[in-house]
A and B are shown apart, each in its own frame.
Chain A
């Protein structure tokens, strides 16, 4: 049958084609392949991609790559005299050189790293001695470099070498045996888009291992650059104010909702983690008792103290417990059963309305409010402003803080909620914990008349205009928010206000101070607010660990910060 014939032809024809092909490869080209095989003339060189740069809003470089000259060697090409010679030239013990030569490599005949980042003059020395160093060469690569050193170090983070587990699991086209990955901060969170794609070359070499030609090549694709909303110059100057303190300052641009500064002190220099040979400095940083690696702006939570009175006030207004005109009396203390809760003004403030109570930060007024509110009410409004939960922000450590209520207390302390707890809660103590950035958001939402604010750190990529989701509001009426705004104005601008040390003479500021008890040490110093009062442009928070009264320590820093901001973005008149 005809079709069977066709099948027969295909089968035996196919076998014949194979036979012919094999004849060609084995008999005709045999000697050529034999030579290539014997001399292992094909080498694989993986090529790492350039990591994307990170810019601030004014295109200043926060992270970039600098050129590094590495000494590499292909162990199969190296001869015995090379070891002592290299040891002498590079000032490394010979045993160490042998160790590095025998480290595991990604491919046979791939180069092994002997010494990274050698100084320029050593490069010339080595090049001169090339005939005596077969198998050794200089490779040009890029080392991550952070030009601003300690500025914004928590934010940018650093990169580190891949470990065994990751190497086994991650795809080979992006992660090689010696690849570096982001370990902290933006470097880690945006690692996938910063790192690009690896490339590689298949090269032919001669019997001495010298390059003959490229057989095939795949170009590495560099990573994408990233732009942050930060103003590095601004941040740097703020960080100078915080030297020797354990503190954090955060400033948010209200129109774009981008963070202008997110400073935490003390800080560290990430270059120490990416440049070779700084192990002593690294250990110093990790063992430093002042914990420079902690991001105090987002990753640590503290009792907010009197700042929280803003929330209590809004809860009271919304629940109808008081109106803005209601007057309550402060005798200097508040009695709950046998316990006495003190106001900081021992002689008492006398009769106050809400505006005055906030302006002077009267505790007794707020104890009275606390007595009339359930802890769940206060907790509800706290959570409306995002307290007690993490934010969507590209930072490495984000603490949710803690907003307590009855259920929480019973679960975690096995004691019931006491009435006294509500009183402490109302003035921002008790179990309440907030991070500086959460407090910042509180001020920002107030500044925006109750519209929810989502701070961000990274500028959206040009061209991809994200559909801004419909703006949500917190469950507080605009009228009540305006009451709080007015009260915060008085805190700074009135002569009876607790925050008057922050006052500047070129425009009006609204804020709230906080002095959070933190026994046995000094209280924490807080201040948060927005500026200018009419048509606010920024919101800010200043926090100093154990810094003392908010109206003194934090207020001074607020004053300097606003002046600084004004010199860059404002009228320029100090």
Chain B
């Protein structure tokens, strides 16, 4: 069993996975070592938990998870509804479900749920039969959680979900015209939606697209994070030496803006290494995908790849002004239990595809 296990692992995958986790831990420490909340200790706990789930997913195999995908989906929808309803009293964004001392983010698991459901759903239907019906089915399956998440409001996660669904449909083979019509449909209904929005919601969207509109809030964060990263230069200021982030000029720097800490302290060469780690991870996923003939497995891999890639792109992009500011985490790197566990589960499943591959 041990020897089989060793042969079934795709090493570049595991190395990049471990590398990202490790680096993430280091920099969560840097981002919060002066903070009494001891985020790095909690992160250590969550890393351990997610390694457990990673191993479990790998050993159980992706097929098990696909089998439970609909049940899991149902549970997640209920949790999302509950979050919306139960948190009406609290001000601000409602994203968490509190279970004792732990705070779960159902939206993180929703990504996994939609991934599994769609992989199973689309994988079970050949492309040349009933394409339209399947398309609408997929749209509904993805649409419900996206809408619930938008209401929280969590624009970032909704975007990631949308990217994932689009990538999966694309890979599945959906004809181009569906994409074109969907875009047209969106463009046409957008003015109607805009008219139906309340003032403060419109404001939020406008600030989202152009942080300059809110010079005291998002606009300030945007420029401070750019300063933090930019001042890292080529070589960085050194571990634990990030003045901008250490002095709290950039808020949320242990979660959404963790890349700022990394960029400031490790400079461009550090950023290049990080990007390469993600590159290797993504490359591994693509390789694993090529070694299996199971359509559902391939869809699962593509979906996970799209999810991770869009998070990396949006998170790093927003920290230097390329993308609007959203509240999403950098996978395996940012502090956040739900994000870590759900990503680890997904990666475990993908590695199990390699274990059960049919092409050697």
Contacts and interface: CB of A to CB of B under 8 A. Distances in A.
B219 interface: yes
A569 interface: no
B275 A15 contact: yes
Nearest to B267: A26
Contacts of B321: 25
A33 B170 contact: no
Nearest to B278: A15
A3 B243 contact: no
A15 B279 contact: yes
Given A25-B230, A33-B226, A37-B228, A18 B313 contact: yes
Contact of A215 (B215, B228, B302): B215
B275 A18 contact: yes
Range class of the B interface residue count: 35 or more
A30 B286 contact: no
Interface stretch (B64-72, B111-119, B231-239): B231-239
Contacts of A26: 229-230, 232-234, 263, 267-268, 271
A22 B91 CA distance: 36
> Interface on chain A toward B: helix, strand, loop, or mixed SS?
helix
B216 interface: yes
A12 B233 contact: no
B31 interface: no
A36 interface: yes
A17 B275 CA distance: 11
B213 to A, nearest CB: 7
Given A7-B170, A202-B215, A34 B320 contact: no
Given A42-B224, A108-B249, A34 B275 contact: no
A219 to B, nearest CB: 11
Range class of the A interface residue count: 35 or more
Instruction: Give the residue among A4, A108, A217 with the most B Cβ atoms within 10 A.
Output: A4
B223 A202 contact: yes
A44 interface: yes
B320 A11 contact: no
A29 interface: yes
A238 B173 CA distance: 85
Interface in A59-91: none
A14 B309 contact: yes
Contact of A27 (B233, B278, B289): B233
A22 B320 contact: yes
Contacts of B216: 44, 46, 107, 172, 200, 202, 218
Contact of A21 (B171, B220, B317): B317
Contact of B223 (A8, A23, A42): A42
A413 interface: no
A289 B238 CA distance: 68
B343 interface: no
A33 B263 CA distance: 13
A464 interface: no
A217 B263 contact: no
A379 B321 CA distance: 71
Contacts of A202: 215-216, 219-220, 223
Contact of B215 (A18, A32, A201): A201
A37 B278 CA distance: 29
Contact of B230 (A29, A42, A216): A29
B171 A3 contact: yes
Contacts of B286: 4, 7-8, 11
B324 to A, nearest CB: 14
B206 to A, nearest CB: 11
B123 to A, nearest CB: 15
Interface string A169-185: 10010000000000000
B302 to A, nearest CB: 7
B223 A37 contact: no
B227 interface: yes
A31 interface: yes
A107 B220 CA distance: 11
Contacts of B249: 37, 108
Instruction: Give the residue among B170, B229, B263, B267 with the most A Cβ atoms within 10 A.
Output: B229
A3 B213 CA distance: 39
Given A202-B215, A218-B215, A218-B216, A23 B227 contact: no
Nearest to A36: B227
Contacts of B305: 7, 11
A350 interface: no
A19 interface: yes
B272 A19 contact: yes
A37 B227 contact: yes
A32 B223 CA distance: 13
A287 B334 CA distance: 57
A218 B213 contact: yes
Given A15-B275, A26-B267, A26-B271, A172 B217 contact: yes
Interface in B232-271: 232-234, 243-244, 248-249, 263, 267-268, 271
17 contacts: A7-B167, A11-B286, A11-B309, A14-B309, A22-B268, A22-B271, A23-B268, A25-B230, A30-B233, A31-B233, A33-B227, A34-B230, A37-B228, A37-B230, A42-B220, A216-B219, A218-B213
Closest 5 CB pairs of A and B: A33-B230, A202-B215, A200-B216, A30-B233, A34-B231
Interface of B: 91, 167, 170-171, 173, 212-217, 219-220, 223-224, 226-234, 243-244, 248-249, 263, 267-268, 271-272, 275, 278-279, 282, 286, 289, 302, 305-306, 309, 312-313, 316-317, 320-322
Given A11-B282, A21-B322, A42-B223, 7 more contacts: A11-B309, A22-B320, A26-B234, A32-B230, A33-B231, A216-B215, A218-B213
Interface of A: 3-4, 6-8, 10-12, 14-15, 17-19, 21-23, 25-27, 29-34, 36-38, 42, 44, 46, 107-108, 169, 172, 200-202, 215-218
